[in-house]
Amino acid sequence: MMKQIAVITPVFNEARSLREFYRALTTQLNSLADLADFSLIFVDDGSTDGSRGVLEQIAAEDPAVTVIFFSRNFGKEAATTAGLRHAIQVDAAIVLDSDLEHPPEIIPRMIDRWNEGAEVVCAIRSSWSDQSLIRRLGSSVFNSVMKRVSEVPMLQNSTDFRLYGRNVLESFQSIAGEIILVRGTFDWLGFEAVFVEFDAPRRNDAKSKFRIRSLVGLAVSSLMAFSLWPLRLTAYLGLITVGFSGLLLIWMVLAGWVFKFAVYTPLALFMVFNTFLVGVVLGAMGLMALYIGSIHTKVSQKPQYVIKSICGKTATKSRNRGDSVHN
C-alpha cells in the first residue's frame, strides 16, 4: 500500500508568494509520486491580504488540497497545531512555512531519512545571511537560554521545518490543551531525531511576518511552558538575600557593639536593603502572576483557535481537542 504523507503549511498574509510556493512544493511532491501519496493542508491564520482567495483557487484546482480558515489571527503555533491535528491516518507529516524560507527541495532528503527509520527529521538552517541582526541575536539568546533552563532536552538550532512519523503524530494527538511551542512539544515527547541542513533563500518580500513583539511573547510563553527556572531563580535570590543580609547584620552587631566602630549608619543600611528586598518581592509577585495567568488560560477551556471554514479535500479532516468549527 502507498504511504500517506501530509504536508502542513501555516499561512499568514502570503498572497504574493503563495502560487510560487505551491508550484515549488508540488514540483517536489510530483517527483516523489512513486514513493508516497501526498495531501496538502494549508491553514490560513486570519490573513487580510487576499491569501484566502488564492487558497480557495488552489483547493478548487487540486483535489489533494485542504484549506483550514481561522476566524481571526491566532498565531503560527495555533495554525501548525490545527494542521497537525487534522493530519490523521497518515504515515508521516511534514511542516514547513509558506514564504519559501523553508525550501521544498529539502523534502526528498527528509523522506529518505524517514525511510531509513528516523522518527523525526529536523531541518537545520546553515546560514542566516538574510536575517536582521536583532532576529539572529534574539534566536541565539533564546536557544542558549532554553538549552540551559528547559526541563526537557530541546533540539538546538532546529527550525519548524520537520517531518514527523506516525508514532510521533499519534503521541502529539493525545496531548490535550494549548500547544505553546510546537517543536518544543515534539522535543518533549522524546522521540529520536536526525538532521538535514539547508541554505535558506532570501525572502521574496525580505520581511518576516513574525513581529519582534510576537517573538518576545513566544519566548516568554515557551520559557513558562517548559521550565520552572524563573521561579527557582527567584527562590535563589531570596536565599542569597537572606544569607547576605544575615551576615551583614552579624557584622553590624560586631562592629557596633563589640569592636566599637561603624562604617555605615544602621538607617542607611536598612534603607538600602529594604529597597532591595522590595524589588525581590515585586519580581517574585510578577513571576507568580505570569504562571497563574498561564494556569488560568489552560483551565479556562477556551479553544486555542477557532476554525471558520474548511474547503477542499476532507480525507484528513478531524475535529479534535482545541478545534471549534463553524461551517
> 89-93, 125-129, 139-143, 312-316 — which one is most confidently predicted on average?
89-93
Residue 325 lies in a domain: no
Assess whether 22 and 11 both reside in one domain: yes
Q: How high is the pLDDT of residue 124? A: 86
Q: What CATH number is given to the structural domain containing 122?
A: 3.90.550.10
Residue 185: partners with Cβ closer than 8 Å, 6 or more residues away: 172, 175, 179
Assess whether 142 and 86 both reside in one domain: yes
Residue 323 lies in a domain: no
pLDDT digits (tens, 9 = 90+) for 298-320: 676 678 899 999 998 653 443 33
pLDDT digits (tens, 9 = 90+) for 29-38: 999 999 999 9
Assess whether 40 and 185 both reside in one domain: yes
- Across the chain, mean pLDDT equals 78
What would the mean pLDDT of 94-100 be, rounded to a whole number? Answer: 92
Assess whether 218 and 267 both reside in one domain: no
Residue 327 lies in a domain: no
Assess whether 17 and 81 both reside in one domain: yes
Assess whether 181 and 58 both reside in one domain: yes
d(CA 316, CA 264): 73
Residue type, 30: N
Which of 54, 42, 130 is closest to 87 using CA atoms? Answer: 42
What would the DSSP string read from start to end of 64-102?
TEEEEEESS---HHHHHHHHHHH--S-SEEEE--SSSSS
Residue 14 lies in a domain: yes
What would the mean pLDDT of 66-76 be, rounded to a whole number? Answer: 94
pLDDT digits (tens, 9 = 90+) for 135-173: 556 556 666 665 665 555 555 567 889 999 999 999 998
C-alpha cell at 179: 500547544
CA angle 162, 125, 54 (to 5 degrees): 60
Residue 321 banded pLDDT, cuts 50, 70, 90: very low
Residue type, 120: V
Assess whether 90 and 155 both reside in one domain: yes
CA-CA distances (angstroms) from residue 282 to 10, 216, 304?
A: 39, 21, 31
Residue 12 lies in a domain: yes
Assess whether 166 and 285 both reside in one domain: no
Residue 201 lies in a domain: yes
Assess whether 217 and 234 both reside in one domain: no
Q: Which domain holds residue 84?
A: 3-227+302-312
Residue 109 lies in a domain: yes
Residue 273 banded pLDDT, cuts 50, 70, 90: confident
d(CA 226, CA 202): 32
Assess whether 68 and 125 both reside in one domain: yes
Q: Is 289 exposed, middle or buried (CB count within 10 Å of its CB: 0-12, 13-18, 19+)?
A: exposed
Residue 319 lies in a domain: no
The pTM score is 0.71
Assess whether 13 and 98 both reside in one domain: yes
Assess whether 214 and 261 both reside in one domain: no
**Structural domains in the chain (count):** 2
